[in-house]
Structure 1
Amino acid sequence: MAEAPKEARSRLNAFNLLRLLGALAVIVEHSWVLTGHGSPLTPASGIGVGGIGVGVFFLISGYLISTSWLSDPSLRRYTVRRALRIYPAYALVVIVTALLLGPLVSVLPAASYFSGTGAWSYIARGLLIQPVSYSLPGVFQGLPYPGAVNGSLWTIWVEVLCYIGVAVMGLLGLLRRRTVLVGLVLLGLAAASAVHLTGYSGPLIPLVVSAYAAQPVAFFALGMLIREVRWVPPLWLTALVVIAWRLLWGTPVANLAAIAAVTCLTFLIAFRAPAWLHRPTGSYDLSYGTYLLAFPAQQVLVQSGLREPVLVLLATVAIVLPLAALSWRLLEQPALRLRHRRPAPVPAAAPVPETS
């Protein structure tokens, strides 16, 4: 969900590949959950397939967003870059979902659908990002996962909070303080473990963010730390960590082992994958559009009677990837180009010719 800043935008990493795989992992999870089949990964593993996908997003985001600030520590430009990357596509999905998709799939007639406050509240809360609404009048009722229009939107607010955290740390000069970054990682891991072990689902910070944010925030902090220490996990260590994670399934530390395995795999692939894998969709970045659009598309498929997870997965990918390409081409990429515009410089006196 984050673009590579100038110094990290080379073709020497596989971040584009990983972000797309992360979005597809979320689709896999939702294809099982939304059809009533539960998560494809056993709870003993400490993380779901969708959690792995979200973790990959936040690891890369922590790495790139902190790099973005350090490469250009201007609060105004940083805010503009973040807003242009995340908001246009998000806002369009919220509006189109409420005004076009909602009345088409709702059990209510269009007049009833629009006469109440539900659709308008969905748009207003969605555009504010927090607190986002997940239901529309008469939409997706009676499904295995009833009433949820776009359950993926909860992570957008967590991402925004991480952006704010990077800006605050940048202004305070803390983004290169390794002790601070290690402390943040430990705090995030402790919170994620407490949530995992207790099953707590209430507010992590009252009126700000729920317990579901603990694990993504821990991944984001790990991404920032790995950027600072410039660490690339070796293959042998990654293999050992993945094996250890599997052996620790069902133990109290399964989630910590899962976080370690996902982190090692992410950055091993990012910096060790062959160059031909770096940009699987060429100049198109389909990950964000895929992530935003998949959940409602899956609910439509389930409502149409498709209940086999594999078929929902394949149909969703076939539908969403072309839509994500349109989102990138017509909205996301043009918005990103606005980042590079600068006001015209004030005319200055002619420079003094060099005399040497």
Structure 2
Amino acid sequence: MGSSQSSKMLFRTNNFDLLRLFAASQVAILHSLHIMDVSVTSFVQSALGLLYMFPGVPIFFFVSGFLISKSFESNSQLEDYASNRILRLFPALILAVTLSFILIFASGYAFETDAGFVDWAMLYIAKISVIQFYNPEFMRAYGDGVLNGSLWTITVELQFYVLVPVIYAAFRLRDDNNWRLILLILIFFGINRAVSAVPYELQSEIAYKLVKVSFLPWFYMFLVGVFFQRNFDRFHKILAGRFIYLLPCYLIVGLIAVQQNANFGNNVNPLFFALLAPLIFSFAYSFPTLAQRTTRGNDFSYGIYIYHMPVINCMVYLGLTGSFAFALTAMFLTLAIAITSWFVVERNCLKLKNHPFNPIYKKAKAW
């Protein structure tokens, strides 16, 4: 087997399914406990503090940059590229939005508002299209006040997907030289810092809110994933199999940072994202075949991410809050829906993907 073929085999043997599952669960767990106003013991609070140090959304953005860039490089036909992205995102997204509407009407909330058919139709269309961040005033009294607050990242991801072919063409990222990609990372890192420096009193302005749901503050995280993918052999040689050594180092630095009130949320402090990125890569390529043996090719992560808020919001509206048992119930219901969605909708749609990575794609050539 040649070195190129060996490298490709190493690339494909990874734990990214487990990473996405962890990231989605991290977001869902913290949302359930916070939004459902659950009081926890000091021990659980300490455990949550550790969980907080591994922010789900930045992990998603890094993994997305890593995998989507490789996917595009392997099949850069725009028709295939677009259809593959649509097949992954939109079938389950439409189902999640429909579930939200069913729960809103079943709970009786819809009949307590002054919203008419056009208002509900506009909301539904917005949520299943490309403006998931849209949220009208009549939703403010339901759940946490947003139909499904997690969906804002779908808008951002869609922008990432559109930008990948653009930056590959404009900056010739297929070349071996890294300087163009590093320059892009630095530019968007600077934008992230500028957005983060906006005074609190200006953060209610519509312009600021629109920038926050654009690719601008988050694109550097995605591009760092692209950078790791473009330099896979180098990073694999340094980081593969070393997760158990890197994790304690990250935790020590993180625990010190927590004492200094460092931000580990969506807009994680860039210093810690610089530490988190190699940790993500290291886990992906440590413990070979771990994901394959545990998930067996099933990916419930997207479902957990998009279905947990409809469940939580409905329970909050019905007054089922303040108890750890309610939060646990929300997580079990979310998992049940996510599993059903995977086997009934998502997996069947993914079989239609026209891509060499797809094991069902019979036309794929060895790569």
* TM class, shorter-length: 0.7 to 0.9
Question: 1:53 — aligned with what?
Answer: 56
Cα distance between partner residues in 1 of 2:14 and 2:182: 24
5+ residue gaps, structure 1, are 1-6, 343-356
Contact 2:132–2:151 under 8 Å retained in 1: no
* TM value normalised by structure 1: 0.78
The offset of 1:213, in angstroms, is: 5.0
1:184 aligns with 2:184: yes
The verdict on how the C-alpha distance between 1:53 and 1:9 changes in structure 2, with shifts beyond 3 A counting, is farther
1:317 partner amino acid: M
Shift of 1:97: 2.1
Match of 1:304 in 2: 318
TM-superposed CA distance for 1:14, in Å, is 0.5
The aligned counterpart of 2:305 is 291
Aligned-partner Cα distance in 1 for 2:339–2:10: 20
Measured in 1, the distance between the counterparts of 2:11 and 2:323 equals 37
Deviation at 1:115?
3.6
Residues 260, 300 of structure 1: alpha-carbon distance in 2 compared, 3 angstrom cutoff: same
Pairwise CA distance, 1:149:
1.8
Query: Which deviates more from structure 2 when the two are superposed, residues 180-189 or residues 54-63?
Result: 180-189
Give the 5 Å matches for 1:331-350: 331-340=345-354
Amino acid at match of 2:310: P
Q: What displacement does 1:273 show?
A: 2.8
Alpha-carbon distance in structure 1 between the residues aligned to 2:54 and 2:192: 12
Q: Does 1:282 align with 2:284?
A: no
In the TM superposition, 1:68-107 aligns within 5 A as: 68-98=71-101, 100-107=102-109
Q: How does 1:202-217 map to 2 (within 5 A)?
A: 209-210=211-212, 216-217=218-219
Distance in 2 of aligned mates of 1:203 and 1:168: 30
Report whether the alignment pairs 1:168 with 2:166: yes
The sequence identity of aligned pairs, in percent, is: 25
Once the two structures are TM-superposed, the CA of residue 307 in structure 1 deviates from its matched residue by 2.5
Deviation at 1:248, TM superposition (A): 3.5
CA shift, 1:282, in A, is 2.3
| Aligned partner letter, 2:189 | L
C-alpha separation between the residues in 1 aligned to 2:211 and 2:343?
A: 32
| TM-score normalised by the chain length of structure 2 | 0.76
* Partners of 1:245 and 1:261 within 8 A in 2: no
**2:364: which partner in 1?**
none
What is the RMSD of the two structures over their aligned residues, measured on CA atoms?
Answer: 3.6
TM superposition shift of 1:188:
3.0
Number of matched pairs: 328
Amino acid at match of 1:174: L
1:161 is displaced (CA, Å) by 0.6
Q: 2:173 is aligned with what amino acid? A: L
Shift in CA distance, 50/209, structure 1 to aligned 2, threshold 3 Å = farther
> Cα gap change, 1:101/1:29 in structure 2, threshold over 3 Å: closer, same or farther?
same
Change over 3 Å in CA distance of 1:291–1:302 after alignment to 2: same
Post-superposition Cα deviations, 1:235-258, rounded to whole Å, max 9, x if no partner, equal: 445543443343334378981232
Distance 1:50 1:118 in 2: 39
The amino acid across from 2:111 in the alignment is: P
Distance of 1:109 and 1:72 partners within structure 2? 48
State the alpha-carbon separation in 1 of the partners of residues 304 and 52 from structure 2.
Answer: 16
Offset at residue 275 of structure 1 (A): 2.5
CA distance change for structure 1 residues 203 and 77 in 2, over 3 Å: closer, same or farther? farther
Q: Residue type of the partner of 1:180?
A: R
CA distance in 2, matches of 1:114, 1:331: 31
Assess, with a 3 A threshold, how the Cα gap between structure 1 residues 295 and 26 changes in structure 2: closer, same or farther.
same
Partner of 1:248, secondary structure, is helix
| In structure 1, distance between residues paired with 2:181 and 2:205 | 24
Matches within 5 A, 1:1-356: 12-36=13-37, 49=52, 52-98=55-101, 100-109=102-111, 115-130=116-131, 132-134=133-135, 137=138, 141=141, 145=144, 147-172=145-170, 173-176=172-175, 177-198=177-198, 201=203, 209-210=211-212, 216-230=218-232, 231-232=235-236, 233=239, 234-235=242-243, 236-237=245-246, 239-249=248-258, 250=260, 255-278=269-292, 280-308=294-322, 310-340=324-354
Alpha-carbon contact 1:102-1:136 (below 8 Å) kept: no
CA distance in structure 1 between the partners assigned to 2:108 and 2:320 by the alignment: 18
Q: How far is 1:142 from its partner?
A: 6.6
8 Å Cα contact 1:135/1:149 also seen in 2: no
User: How far apart, in 2, do the equivalents of 1:294 and 1:220 lie?
Assistant: 24
Deviation at 1:36, TM superposition (A): 4.2
Match of 2:72, SS state, is helix
